[in-house]
């Protein structure tokens, strides 16, 4: 007997609804061919069975399809089911969400992260038809984020940035759920996704803080904690040189785990923390030998001026280190120290850091000199400038007194 006829026979029986549900569910047992499963679904959605029967049977149908041994059959039938449910989405909202979850699992297993993310994004997570917990919403948002970030790493630069911008939207959606959620694994995965989004958007200091926070999570094993520590140090290297990064570097430098398990990272961390000049060999060794399973797509990407994230970070660090070694330095000498071909480029770096409050210095464009004031001596420098202003005022007052004595006719 064809599956459609069997379905119609069971529905037409004059028996209680629970018996019809059991009979329809039992009829699914021997059915495994995609064509027969699709025919069963069409008959179920025809409307003759009624919602009280069709909803639980549809749930059993989805579970039956998800348990098929043939992955291709699972995917094709679930895709067909998702398509058939769209006109009746209000009626079968809960079942449609389960179909999307099962289908996304298949895409994720096949590495088709774009399809998985798109499938999950279609889920209706704000609904008046059913109760949806904060934990469930957070889990779905985290899966969406993970798929979008995986897709961004596999795509082109333009497509990757589009994915990052879209992922940031889901970061904002999930952020309000994290505090209320009791699902600790989902919270950890959210923080990792947040760190990767910060990293991709070149918010390196924020990424550093998140990676370092994750390195202490008891929900991840020691090896993954070490990975997060390494990612925190590489993010710190890429962070803009200045007081905020110095505080983060001091925190990292106090962590004994880095010295014990990450010798390459510890070596460059020492130089970063103590404001030592970094050589090209130091950076090359770190990029080659450091433990960095977490990808930094932007390391090789360029800014509008042609510099990369690494070269800009190292140049700014060395400029800050130079401010600890010199009271003043000429543009050309600074350019040579920083490995820049153009002295104007050295002035540009210094001016940007001064403007952003990351370097305390003054630029004399006439004599082409930069005068440094140590960051920790800022208060002392202010007092010195106050004293110089007071001394200048006294000299002006003395000159005025002398003029009054010698030329009383021009004074009032």
Domain endpoint, select from 158, 179, 201: 201
304-317 b/e (C-beta count within 10 Å ≥ 16 → b): eeebebbbbbbbbb
Domain check: are 56 and 9 in the same one? yes
Please give the average per-residue pLDDT across 188-206, as a whole number.
89
327 to 39, 155, 324, 330: CA distances (angstroms) = 83, 47, 8, 11
Domain check: are 91 and 185 in the same one? no
pLDDT at residue 383 in the model: 54
Domain endpoint, select from 180, 201, 222: 201
Least confident of 4-18, 152-166, 193-207: 152-166
Domain check: are 42 and 4 in the same one? yes
Domain check: are 68 and 138 in the same one? no
Structural domain includes residue 148: yes
Give per-residue pLDDT as tens, 90-147.
888 889 999 999 999 999 999 999 899 999 999 988 876 778 888 999 999 999 998 9
pLDDT at residue 412 in the model: 52
Distance CA 395, CA 397 (A): 5
Domain that holds residue 188: 132-201
Please give the average per-residue pLDDT across 327-335, as a whole number.
93
Domain check: are 158 and 197 in the same one? yes
Domain check: are 99 and 142 in the same one? no
Instruction: Reply yes or no on whether the pLDDT at 388 is more than 60.
Output: yes
pLDDT at residue 173 in the model: 87
Say how many domains are in the chain: 2
% of the chain beyond a pLDDT of 90: 39
Structural domain includes residue 336: no
Domain check: are 79 and 185 in the same one? no
Structural domain includes residue 250: no
Instruction: Reply yes or no on whether the pLDDT at 57 is more than 60.
Output: yes
Domain endpoint, select from 122, 154, 179: 122
Q: pTM (2 decimals)?
A: 0.74
Average pLDDT, the chain: 85
pLDDT at residue 103 in the model: 95
Instruction: Reply yes or no on whether the pLDDT at 411 is more than 70.
Output: no
Instruction: Reply yes or no on whether the pLDDT at 378 is more than 60.
Output: no
pLDDT at residue 352 in the model: 92
Largest CA distance in the chain: 127
Domain check: are 40 and 101 in the same one? yes
Task: Single out the residue of 128, 53, 50 nearest to residue 90, CA to CA.
Answer: 128
247 to 20, 374, 408: CA distances (angstroms) = 69, 15, 60
Distance CA 267, CA 282 (A): 9
pLDDT at residue 381 in the model: 54
Give per-residue pLDDT as tens, 68-96.
888 899 999 999 999 999 988 888 888 99
Q: Which residue has the tokens 């291709």?
A: 72
Instruction: Reply yes or no on whether the pLDDT at 341 is more than 70.
Output: yes
Instruction: Reply yes or no on whether the pLDDT at 233 is more than 90.
Output: yes
């Amino acid at each position: 007997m064809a599956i459609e006829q069997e379905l119609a026979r069971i529905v037409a029986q004059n028996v209680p609804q629970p018996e019809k549900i059991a009979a329809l569910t039992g009829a699914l047992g021997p059915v495994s061919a995609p064509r027969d499963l699709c025919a069963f679904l069409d008959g179920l959605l025809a409307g003759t069975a009624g919602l009280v029967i069709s909803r639980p049977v549809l749930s059993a149908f989805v579970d039956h399809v998800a348990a098929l041994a043939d992955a291709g059959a699972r995917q094709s039938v679930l895709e067909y089911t998702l398509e058939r449910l769209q006109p009746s989405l209000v009626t079968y909202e809960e079942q449609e969400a389960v179909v999307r979850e099962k289908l996304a699992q298949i895409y994720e297993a096949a590495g088709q992260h774009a399809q998985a993310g798109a499938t999950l994004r279609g889920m209706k997570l704000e609904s008046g038809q059913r109760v949806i917990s904060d934990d469930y919403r957070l889990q779905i948002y985290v899966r969406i984020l993970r798929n979008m970030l995986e897709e961004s790493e596999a795509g082109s630069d333009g497509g990757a940035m589009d994915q990052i911008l879209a992922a940031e939207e889901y970061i904002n959606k999930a952020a309000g759920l994290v505090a209320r959620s009791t699902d600790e694994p989902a919270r950890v995965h959210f923080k990792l996704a947040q760190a990767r989004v910060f990293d991709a958007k070149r918010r390196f200091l924020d990424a550093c803080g998140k990676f370092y926070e994750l390195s202490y999570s008891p929900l991840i094993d020691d090896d993954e904690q070490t990975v997060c520590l390494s990612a925190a140090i590489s993010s710190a290297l890429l962070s803009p040189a200045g007081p905020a990064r110095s505080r983060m570097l001091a925190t990292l430098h106090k962590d004994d785990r880095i010295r014990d398990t990450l010798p390459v990272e510890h070596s460059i961390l020492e130089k970063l923390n103590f404001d030592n000049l970094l050589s090209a060999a130091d950076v090359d060794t770190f990029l080659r030998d450091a433990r960095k399973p977490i990808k930094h797509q932007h390391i090789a990407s360029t800014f509008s001026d042609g510099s990369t994230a690494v070269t800009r970070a190292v140049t700014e660090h060395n400029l800050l280190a130079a401010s600890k070694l010199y009271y003043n330095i000429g543009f050309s000498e600074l350019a040579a120290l920083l490995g820049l071909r153009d002295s104007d480029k050295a002035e540009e770096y210094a001016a940007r850091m001064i403007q952003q409050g990351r370097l305390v210095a003054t630029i004399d464009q006439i004599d082409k000199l930069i005068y440094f004031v140590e960051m920790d001596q800022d208060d002392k420098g202010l007092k010195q400038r106050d004293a110089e202003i007071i001394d200048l005022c006294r000299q002006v007052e003395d000159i005025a007194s002398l003029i009054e004595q010698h030329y009383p006719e021009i004074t009032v």
